[in-house]
Structure 1
Amino acid sequence: MSTPTIVAGALWLVALWRLPSIRHSHKQRSLALTLVTLAAAMTFEVSQVKEAVDASVGADVRLSPLLKQMLGVTSAAYLLDFVIAVVRPQGLARRARLVAAGVTLPLMLAFYALANWTPGGPVRLGGGRDALFPLLYMTVFTLYIGVAMVVATWLFLGGVRHSRTLLGKAGLGFLGLGTLLGSLYALQRIVFVTVHLASGASYPGLENLFSTTLKQATALSVALGVCLPPLSVAVEYVAAWSTLRKLRPLWAQLTEAAPYVVLATAIGRRRIPFRLERCVIEIEDACLALREYVSVDMHTKARRFVRQEGVDVQLSDAVAEACWLRAAAQIARNGKRLRGVEYPPLGVTGRDRDSELSWLRAVAHAYLSSPVVFEFVRQEQSSISHEQGASERISSHDN
């Protein structure tokens, strides 16, 4: 299997994967059409396809280069539309872009029809009195591709720093690399044409090598860049599922002691990020409710106990939090809220999203499995029982 066939096949796979998203939004529609037109353009690089198309209309007409390059212009227009929708949602020179694409395609058709093409091989400047038309054709095509790719490169690479995920940054980076290679493709076409016009020398083998390599590298880089952001979404989904699975046991324990914090609205099982968000909210609401059953002294005792037990410094705050939370949950089942006292502070307060989830995972692990937490709660229960027994004996003696 030839390299052009592999490249075209890879592009069609990515294009068909993204095609269903064409109805979702303007941005997704532009991306899907970029991939379809780019895949179609690269299909004309496959020799069997190129020969079949040219044979169907006559070898002298050589329709395949025109179709390939017009599809390339269309793909560049849609790609530019996509990057502007991503990086500059407020828009960027929309009317100028429409006019440029609307003028470029008819001019390419006209100049191609008037050009005196060299029979066989890649598209050349031609010769004789009609050499002007191939030059005009190549000028219009190269100018549009070059300007579009330079602008897209600037936007893609400028948008990398605004992406919030590593894979999102990598995706924009590969898209920027692809458009940069597209810019180099346009530049090398200009160089070879200039050399030919200035000296009459031509290097068809070298020109074809540069042109083919840059086109294929551009297409593959764009395809890879398109694949990475959805992969980022999948990674985030799996991470959310893993975090939810770790937090659910803590949620069950805390909401059993404070069931009134649980929201009544049901959520679909597949909506993992939304379920995680709700789980976190209800855990934090339960913590706020349970801390009303203990005073700040309980928090101080938990921190002191954790230090005495030699818990690692990096985990000590989370383990102390789990200690007083578990004790508060035990008291909440049978006790009453305390009034007029200072309540324990919540360790989750003031954290960003990643730190918040990391903190809750550490608290959940300690709450459910730390021997230090179980021992602290056992001692607190013994102390409370002892105090209650002493209070009952005093009351009986007074009577």
Structure 2
Amino acid sequence: MNTPTIIACVLWLVTVWRLPSVRHSHKQRSLALTLAALAAAMTFEVPAVKNALNGSVGITGLPPLLKHLLGVTSAAFLLDFVIAVVRPQGLARRTRAAAIGATLPLMVAFYAAANWAPGGAVRVGEGGRAIYSVLYTAVFTLYIGVAMIVATWLFIGGVRHSRNLLGRIGLGLLGLGTLLGSLYALQRVGFVTAHLITGAEYHDLEDLFSTVLKQSAILSIALGVCVPPLSVAVEYARAWATLRRLLPLWQHLTEAAPHVVLSTSIAKRRVLLRLERCVIEIEDACLALREYVSADVHVRAREFVRQEGFDQDEIDAAAEACWLHEAARRAQNGQHLKGVEYPPLGVTGRDRVSEIAWLRTVAHTYLSSPAVVKFSRQEKTFMPHAQNGLERVTSDGK
């Protein structure tokens, strides 16, 4: 199997993979159409396809024209995609529409009028009609070059502002692909200019540069398209692992405070939404359960875990796990407290990322540390004395 065939197959696989995303948004639609146009363009480089098309229509120059038209179309869609990602407010929309609207018909007209030399569609012929082949090459390379330069500039800007590592890698690969596309256009201009000025032709060198730059650009763009979905998969896997770690804590706390559980069911495949709901319900359960213990329990829990030898950065989470465990036990016994100061919640004032990290630490201690159960046993012996003290304070207050 030759290289054009392999690249075309890879592009079609990526296109089919990304095809369902067409209905999601404008940028996803532009990306899918970019891939489809690139795949179709590379298909016309496959020898079997070229021979079949030439034999069926009897026009030997048709595959190169179709390939170039599709290449320009893919450049337009790719530029539209990067603008949608980096500049959602838009960028020169009317100018871009006018440029692609003029480029495609001009290419067809100049290609039909040109006197092409044997050896390929980019070989400038001789005589009066040679000017049309030059104009065709100029229009084609001008559009590709400008579009790729602008896209490269936008992709580089997107890399600088992206906060996601895989997102930066994907944008970087796309930017590399458009940069190579710019170099492809520049070398085309260079070889045609050299031929017009000196009459010298470097067919083998020109074909080498064109093939390497074109195929490298296409593969880089294809890889860049594949990387961002990997970040979604990584996020999904991370959310699934976090959900598995938090579900046992959720189960313990919601058994003690079942009224916080929402009645609406969520499909198992919607992991991100399930994780969000799990976190919210754990927080609501913590709010409900803190009414079964006083702030003194939290103070005793901190002192207890310190004596148990927890590291300094683990004390807060371990103390929270201890008083939550004790609160859940008291809630099941119906020992509700009023008129006392409740423990502070460790999730207060955190963003979502640090909040989830905090809950994972609390869950790990809650479920695996013997100190949590030991603290509850200690509180059982302390609680009767504490209740008597509260009763004496209430009587004195009256």
With the length of structure 2 as denominator, give the TM-score of the two structures.
0.93
Question: Match for residue 11 of structure 1?
Answer: 11
- Tell me how far 1:163 sits from its aligned partner: 3.1
**Compared with structure 1, are the counterparts of its residues 137 and 390 closer, same or farther at alpha carbon in structure 2 (3 Å cutoff)?**
closer
Q: Residue 182 of structure 2 corresponds to which residue in structure 1?
A: 183
TM-fit CA distance, 1:116:
0.7
- For residue 249 of structure 1, what is the aligned residue in structure 2? 248
Q: In the TM superposition, what are the counterparts of 1:256-271 in structure 2 within 5 Å?
A: 256-271=255-270
Deviation at residue 364 of structure 1 after TM alignment: 0.5
Distance in 1 (alpha carbons) for counterparts of 2:98 and 2:120: 32
Residues 126-275 of structure 1 correspond to what in structure 2 (within 5 A)?
126-275=125-274
Output the CA distance in 1 between the equivalents of 2:240 and 2:105.
52
Query: Taking every aligned residue pair, what percent have the same amino acid on both sides?
Result: 71
CA shift digits 1:132-187 (9 cap, x unpaired): 11100000000000111111111122122343422122111111111111111111
Who is 1:351 aligned against?
350
The equivalent residue for 1:77 is: 76
Q: How many Å apart are 1:122 and its aligned residue?
A: 5.3
Q: 1:342 to 1:119 in 2, by over 3 A?
A: same
Q: For residue 397 of structure 1, what is the aligned residue in structure 2?
A: none
User: 1: CA distance between counterparts of 2:57 and 2:81?
Assistant: 34
Counterpart Cα distance in 2 of 1:146 and 1:388? 81
- Whole-Å separation in 2 of the counterparts to 1:304 and 1:171: 49
**How far 1:210 moved relative to its partner?**
0.8
Corresponding residue SS for 2:112: helix
Please state how far the C-alpha of 1:385 moved relative to its aligned partner: 4.6
The one-letter amino acid of 2:46's match is V
Q: Report which stretch shifted further, 155-164 or 38-47.
A: 155-164
Cα distance in 2 for partners of 1:138, 1:123 equals: 7
- 2:85 partner letter: V
2:363 aligned with 1:364: yes
| More moved, 40-49 vs 317-326 | 40-49
**Structure 1: distance between partners of 2:262 and 2:81:** 40
> Which is further off, 324-333 or 43-52?
43-52
The CA deviation at 1:335 is 4.0
Q: Which moved more, 1:138-147 or 1:255-264?
A: 255-264
| CA distance in structure 2 between the partners assigned to 1:111 and 1:136 by the alignment | 7
Verify: 1:287 aligned to 2:286, yes or no: yes
Contact 2:320–2:362 at 8 Å: present in 1 too? yes
Distance in 2 separating the partners of 1:154 and 1:309: 57
User: Aligned Cα RMSD in Å?
Assistant: 1.9
Separation in structure 1 between the aligned mates of residue 260 and residue 134 of structure 2, nearest angstrom: 74
- Aligned mates of 2:196, 2:307 — CA distance in 1: 86
Change (3 A) 1:116 1:391: closer
Distance 2:235 2:48 in 1: 42
**Contact 1:73–1:144 at 8 Å: present in 2 too?**
yes
Q: What corresponds to 1:39 in structure 2?
A: 39
What does the per-residue CA deviation read over 1:218-249, in whole Å, with 9 as the maximum and x for residues that have no partner?
Answer: 11111111111112111111111111111111
Deviations 1:46-77 (A, max 9, x none): 22222332333346x42111111000001111
- Distance in 2, matches of 1:390 and 1:41, equals 84
Q: Which moved more, 1:117-126 or 1:89-98?
A: 117-126
Contact 2:170 2:224 survives alignment (8 Å) = yes
1:235-293 superposed Cα distances (whole Å, 9 cap, x missing partner): 11111111111111101111111112112222222211111101100101111111122
**Residue 50 of structure 2 aligns with which residue?**
50
Alpha-carbon spacing, 1:122–1:110, altered in 2? closer, same or farther (3 Å) = closer
Q: Tell me the amino acid that sits aligned with residue 374 of structure 2.
A: E
Q: What CA distance in whole angstroms lies between the structure 2 residues aligned with 1:6 and 1:391?
A: 80
Is the 1:38–1:75 Cα contact (8 Å) retained in structure 2? yes
Residue 118 of structure 1, CA deviation: 1.0
Q: Judge conservation of contact 1:114–1:130 (CA < 8 Å) in 2.
A: yes
The Cα shift of 1:80 comes to 1.1
The answer to whether residue 93 in structure 2 is matched with residue 94 in structure 1 is: yes
- Residue 27 (structure 1) aligned with residue 51 (structure 2): no
Structure 1 match to 2:394? none
Query: Partner of 1:128: helix, strand, or coil?
Result: coil
Residue 347 of structure 1 deviates from its aligned partner by 1.2
CA distance in 2, matches of 1:296, 1:24: 50
Aligned-partner Cα distance in 1 for 2:294–2:384: 17
Q: Please give the secondary structure, in 2, of the residue aligned with 1:129.
A: coil
Question: Contact conserved, 1:122 with 1:208, CA < 8 A, in 2?
Answer: no
**TM-score when scaled to structure 1?**
0.93
User: Within 2, Cα distance between the matches of 1:240 and 1:318?
Assistant: 21
* Distance across 1 between alignment mates of 2:22 and 2:56: 32
Distance 2:308 2:299 in 1: 14
Whole-Å Cα distance in 2 between the matches of residues 252 and 70 of structure 1?
60
Q: Paired residue for 2:395?
A: none
1:306 CA displacement: 0.9
Unaligned runs of 5+ in 1: 393-399
Q: Contact 2:65–2:121 (CA<8 Å) still a contact in 1? A: no
CA distance in 2, matches of 1:91, 1:222: 22
Deviations 1:276-320 (A, max 9, x none): 101100101111111122222211111111111111233222111
Secondary structure, aligned partner of 2:128? helix
Report if the CA contact (8 A) 1:41-1:72 is conserved.
Answer: yes
* Counterpart-to-counterpart distance in 1, 2:277 and 2:286: 14
Deviation by residue 1:70-100 (Cα, 9 ceiling, x = unmatched): 0000111111111112222222111111111
Q: How does 1:369-380 map to 2 (within 5 A)?
A: 369-380=368-379
Unaligned ranges ≥5, structure 2: 392-398
**Maintained 8 Å contact 2:72/2:143:** yes
Letter in 1 for 2:245: K
Q: For 1:264 and 1:174, locate their aligned partners in 2 and report how far apart those are by CA, in whole Å.
A: 45
The AA in structure 2 aligned to 1:145 is I
